[in-house]
Chain A
Amino acid sequence: MEAMRAKAGVTIAIPNWNHEVFLPRSIGSALRALEFLRAEGWAGEVLVIDEASRDGSSTLLRQLEALYFKDGLRCLSFGSTENIATTRNAAAEHARYRYLAFVDADNELIPENLSLFVRTLEQTRAAVAYGNLLLRSTTADYAHFMHSCEVIQKRLFRGGNYVDMCSVWDRFQLLDSGGFDSSLSFLEDFEMWLHLATNGRKIVFVPAILGYYYLLPTSSSTDRSRQDAVESRLLRVFNQAKVRELLPLNTHHLRYHPELGYV
């Protein structure tokens, strides 16, 4: 089991909870990304993790796995719903390969660019590599906003997460760090950035487009009041004495491109 889990390659993990309508887009982009990775000599899989969806996702995933298993599609279904942090931890446990890309079911990868992030992890030994995300409304042809477009800065400890979880991980460092805080239903990504940063891990920004982030009308990220409460608690946990901006940070201003090195 351990030998298989040390395989060099990329698992693209897609957590799904009742996003049947968007799965073809996210899975299609992930499978195309695998084709580009294979052309560069990387092995890979697309691992969809379904959290007891009721909307048709499970039937659709069953069909898609039958059709695309040979192309690298793998599906895991759980009979109960936990939260996204638990799902991501499940991805980390069940992934076959060393590098782990998280893509939400309603988002989309730029297939050609995933290897830039994988190579960044290889070359920098960082825990995470993330990049620009183009924000589109649900069916727009063009984006109107860019997210996750800056390096990690100390102002993160003042609040206001600006880095999305759509990113590529060294799975071993994720597991060794204890994974995501499964007690959180909100801002588990923000908590993870603060956790990695304060534990000396490297979080590297790659100045390339990683994917598209689509806005949905009932996205949980639009519920501001709950987010604010959780964020306040996190800032008390990680920066109670308000000294983080004065302390050294291994992951400060890290920006890397595989063709250039650190920029």
Chain B
Amino acid sequence: MHPDSKVASPRALILIPGSMNYFYNQSGRRIAEALGALGCGIELTTLDACPAEGYDLCVLSNISEILHSGGDFEQRMARIIDIRARCRVMMSLGIDCVSTEWYHRIRDYSARAGADLIADLGLFDQSPFLEPQHRARYRLVFSGLTPSEARVLELLDEDDAGRTIPWAFVGSSTPHRVALIDHLVQTVDPRGFVYMPPPSLCTEKGSPHLNQQQFERVLARTRYQIWCSGHSYFYMETERFRTSLLTGGVPIKIIESRAEIPASVPLDYLMIERAEVAQRLASHTYARLLRRFRDDWRRFPMLHQELARVLGEFGIDAGNAASRAA
């Protein structure tokens, strides 16, 4: 094709739940920004408001929440199947541990909807943890930064004088997490910010719980965001790492044993056993950890680069769309 010929940029439809947990709305927006950086045309909407058009790519963020965000399940599934018929490629997005029920539901619903791939927006390849028959559709999309997030990272300074909250633990309450909180209170610093309501939805508005904006305000005044998984499998909660990065703090995941960390997983120094946490979070280590964390993240691929790589496998030439747009 002649280089002067105009080729239409890929058009992407991104479906978000809207009214359920806010982090899947947020993931959808991030994907939208990244695809936009690749020059794609973007339609970001909910299933109820979805236009009846065809697209090159449809992204479902997250299929389970989209299906359960109101209305009849089967009718909503039928609509998604209909959308699949109008799109070249359907990508189902997950930000979950593949050993959990949440991912299994994504997997099963995605198969039913006819999705071509399940994109794991994560920090490490979870395919070794999948049964062999489920590996074919799985793709890791490394959750690098979007352009706007990269700008935020560059503007952060290392001055921690305003970080008067020593640590923050935000998540739903389980006995294991409560015991961990008690341990942190006793051994690290009792003045931590603790918000652990019973499990329920965290919507963007109207919820009694912290939304993203409020959560970021907390983290912007906190040194360490500390958490542990609510299940017993190894997983790196992508959004936790990313949110800490962009609010200028350090994420610390508490694990049972360092031996459970697979080889070649990034940021393993931020995953600490419970017994070591008091020693490892001594005040003099904060600046060093922060610097190393930021430097490491700058070396990671950007989100749009990852999307281009993965979509290229499925015939979506998003990688060149940016140059065409230029």
Residue pair B208, A263 in contact (C-beta under 8 Å): no
The yes or no answer to A116 lying at the interface (CB within 8 A) is yes
Residue pair A144, B191 in contact (C-beta under 8 Å): no
Residue pair A208, B193 in contact (C-beta under 8 Å): yes
Instruction: Collect the chain A residues with CB atoms within 8 Å of residue B198's CB.
Output: 149-150
Q: Given the complex of chains A and B, what is the CA–CA distance between A255 and B196 in angstroms?
A: 13
Please give me the residue from chain A that is nearest to B206 by CB atom.
A253
Q: Given the complex of chains A and B, what is the CA–CA distance between A15 and B208 in angstroms?
A: 32
Instruction: Give the distance to chain B from A158, nearest Cβ to Cβ, in Å.
Output: 14
Interface residues of B in 247-265 (CB under 8 A from A): none
Please give me the residue from chain A that is nearest to B195 by CB atom.
A207
The yes or no answer to B181 lying at the interface (CB within 8 A) is yes
The yes or no answer to B190 lying at the interface (CB within 8 A) is yes
Instruction: Collect the chain A residues with CB atoms within 8 Å of residue B42's CB.
Output: none
The yes or no answer to B218 lying at the interface (CB within 8 A) is yes
Residue pair A142, B183 in contact (C-beta under 8 Å): yes
Residue-by-residue, is A251-263 near B (CB-CB < 8 Å gives 1, otherwise 0)? Answer: 0010101011001
The yes or no answer to A63 lying at the interface (CB within 8 A) is no
Interface residues of B in 187-220 (CB under 8 A from A): 190-198, 208, 210, 214, 217-218
Residue-by-residue, is A235-263 near B (CB-CB < 8 Å gives 1, otherwise 0)? Answer: 00000000000000000010101011001
Please give me the residue from chain A that is nearest to B176 by CB atom.
A144
Instruction: Collect the chain B residues with CB atoms within 8 Å of residue A136's CB.
Output: 182
Number of A interface residues in the complex (CB < 8 A)? 26
Instruction: Give the distance to chain A from B172, nearest Cβ to Cβ, in Å.
Output: 10
Residue-by-residue, is B273-304 near A (CB-CB < 8 Å gives 1, otherwise 0)? Answer: 00000000000000000000000000000000
Instruction: Collect the chain A residues with CB atoms within 8 Å of residue B196's CB.
Output: 132, 146, 149
Instruction: Give the distance to chain A from B72, nearest Cβ to Cβ, in Å.
Output: 27
If A153-B208, A263-B214, A263-B217 touch, does A208 touch B194 (CB 8 Å cutoff)? yes
Instruction: Give the distance to chain A from B189, nearest Cβ to Cβ, in Å.
Output: 8
The yes or no answer to B164 lying at the interface (CB within 8 A) is yes
Instruction: Collect the chain A residues with CB atoms within 8 Å of residue B190's CB.
Output: 110, 112-113, 209
A contact residues vs B (CB 8 Å cutoff):
110, 112-113, 116, 132, 134-136, 142-146, 149-151, 153, 207-209, 253, 255, 257, 259-260, 263
25 A-B pairs in the complex with CB atoms less than 8 angstroms apart: A110-B185, A112-B191, A113-B190, A134-B178, A134-B185, A135-B178, A142-B179, A142-B182, A142-B183, A145-B173, A145-B175, A146-B178, A146-B196, A149-B173, A149-B195, A149-B197, A149-B198, A153-B208, A208-B193, A209-B181, A209-B185, A209-B192, A253-B208, A257-B218, A259-B165
B contact residues vs A (CB 8 Å cutoff):
164-165, 173, 175, 178-179, 181-183, 185, 190-198, 208, 210, 214, 217-218, 221
Across the A-B interface, give the 9 residue pairs with the lowest CB-CB distance, nearest first.
A142-B179, A143-B182, A207-B195, A142-B182, A144-B175, A112-B190, A150-B197, A259-B164, A110-B190
